């Protein structure tokens, strides 16, 4: 197991190298000059050129890359072109809302989708099954921002139960934090629920037709025990895989959801950085998302061993 983990961690290095090179090159080759954005609408060409020089953007592209990689290896993500802050500080400031959104979404999604997926499989062909499948199609097809606006209209504007937007840090006011997390997490979890419930249904259905399930029933075990201990546990591997892959959906969804609900997280930071061509920030955030994605999937791989003793690394 330790060997496996070490091997997987070492494998992260080439992945991140490829990501770093691609992100760096894509940003430099995409039209858009941060100096022109900084200088504003009334600046002259000479003023923009002066700012470009001060930002080091006149250096050859490979020099810029070597400097950036060198700094990254020393844990220095550089300084944002716009905010008078290091990118590390910016990420530290913005990580809490994104983390909170991701955790709440995962809790919402898993706690809803797995039970309804199992029930849909157990009652295959029933009204419940059709409703769950219908929901999964709709949930997966409707864009997150549409769901977000609908929820805001109903729960914030018409009913007045929840705030429209904003974020309160968990340490400042817990209830304020919760109030502001409900709608964004619901919005982001709809697609996730659709995906996980469908996979759960399919996996559990497959397992329910296995001989050992028939044996368990023949032994007189209750439906609950059969479903939870035998069927769900054996169906867990594909479900966990989908949850791991869904982290990418979560990251993509966070960008939209944070913008709609005014959450000051990493998703919005990414959008702002892309729109203003804040190269150091974009590079660091994308690299960080890549690390998160790879590490989460490593953890998922490790967790397989907990559910399926046949899997050994």
Partner 1 sequence: MKHIMRRTLGAMAAGAVLAAAGPVLAQSKTLKVVQHGNLTILDPVWTTAYVTRNHGYLIYDTLFAADGDYVAKPQMVDKYTVSPDKTVWTFTLRDGLEWHDGKPVTSEDCIASLQRWGKRDAMGTKLMDFVKEFKAVDGKTFQMILKEPYGLVLDTLAKPSSHVPFMMPKAVAETDAFKQFGVYTGSGPFIYQATESKPGERHVYLKNPKYKPRAEAPSGLAGGKVAKVDRVEIIEMPDPQQQVNALITGEIDIIEAPPHDLLPVLKKDKNIALDDWNPLGHVFVIRFNHLVKPFDNAKIRLAALYAINQEDYLKATVGDPAYYKVCGAAFICGTPNASTKGTEELLIKSNFEKSKALLKEAGYDGTPVVLMQSTTLPILTNTAPVTKALLEKGGFKVDMQSMDWQTLVTRRTKKDAPSAGGWNVFHTYSVSADALNPISNSYFVANGEKSSWFGWPNDPEMEKLRDAYAKETDPAKAKALAEAVQLRALETAQFGWIGQWYGPGARRTNVTGWLKAPVPVFWNIEKK
The residue written with tokens 């759960």 in the block is 200
Is position 18 an interface residue for partner 1 (rule: CB under 8 A)?
A: no
Q: Does 93 bind partner 1 (CB under 8 A)?
A: yes
Q: Is 42 in the site for partner 1 (CB under 8 A)?
A: yes
- Answer whether 202's CB lies under 8 Å from 122's CB: no
Q: How far apart are CA 247 and CA 306, in angstroms?
A: 20
- Does residue 200 contact residue 110 with C-beta atoms inside 8 Å? no
Q: How far apart are CA 300 and CA 241, in angstroms?
A: 7
Q: Answer for the pair 196, 114: CB distance below 8 angstroms, yes or no.
A: yes
CA-based nearest residue to 59, from 110, 20, 24, 17: 24
Which residue number, 51 or 205, has a Cβ lying nearer to partner 1?
51
Q: Is 29 in the site for partner 1 (CB under 8 A)?
A: no
Closer residue to partner 1 in complex, CB, 26/157: 157
Give the contact letters, 225-264, x = binds to partner 1 (CB under 8 A), - = no: ----------------------------------xxxx-x
Site membership for partner 1, residue 40 (CB under 8 A): yes
Residue 176 as a binder of partner 1 (CB under 8 A): the answer is yes
* Stretch in the footprint of partner 1 (CB under 8 A) among 7-15, 38-46, 200-208, 293-301: 38-46
Residues making contact with partner 1 (CB under 8 A) = 31-33, 36-48, 50-51, 54, 82-85, 90, 93-94, 149, 152, 156-157, 159-161, 163-167, 172-176, 179, 259-262, 264, 268-269, 271-272, 275-277
């Amino acid at each position: 197991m330790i060997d496996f983990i070490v091997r997987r961690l070492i494998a992260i290095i080439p992945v991140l190298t490829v990501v770093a090179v691609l992100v760096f090159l894509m940003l430099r080759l995409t039209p858009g000059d941060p100096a022109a954005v900084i200088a504003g609408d009334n600046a002259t060409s000479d003023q923009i050129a002066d700012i470009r020089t001060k930002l080091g953007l006149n250096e050859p592209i490979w020099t810029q890359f070597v400097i950036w990689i060198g700094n990254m290896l020393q844990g220095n993500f550089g300084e944002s072109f716009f905010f008078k802050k290091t990118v590390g500080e910016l990420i530290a400031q913005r990580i809490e809302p994104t983390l909170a959104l991701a955790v709440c979404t995962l809790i919402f999604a898993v706690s809803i989708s797995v039970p309804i997926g199992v029930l849909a499989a157990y009652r295959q062909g029933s009204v419940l099954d059709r409703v769950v499948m219908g929901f999964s199609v709709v949930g997966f097809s409707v864009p997150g921002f549409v769901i977000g606006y609908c929820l805001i209209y109903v729960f914030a504007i018409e009913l007045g139960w929840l705030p429209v937007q904003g974020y309160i840090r968990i340490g400042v006011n817990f209830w304020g934090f919760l109030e502001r997390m409900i709608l964004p997490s619901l919005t982001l979890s709809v697609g996730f629920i659709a995906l996980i419930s469908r996979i759960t249904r399919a996996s559990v259905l497959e397992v329910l037709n296995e001989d050992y399930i028939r044996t368990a029933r023949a032994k007189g075990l209750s439906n609950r025990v059969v479903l939870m201990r035998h069927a769900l546990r054996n169906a867990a591997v594909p479900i966990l895989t989908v949850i791991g892959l869904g982290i990418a959906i979560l990251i993509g969804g966070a960008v939209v959801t944070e913008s709609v609900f005014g959450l000051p997280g990493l998703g919005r930071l990414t959008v702002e950085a892309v729109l203003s061509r804040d190269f150091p920030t974009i590079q660091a955030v994308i690299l960080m998302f890549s690390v998160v994605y790879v590490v989460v999937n490593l953890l998922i791989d490790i967790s397989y061993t907990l559910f399926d003793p046949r899997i050994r690394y």
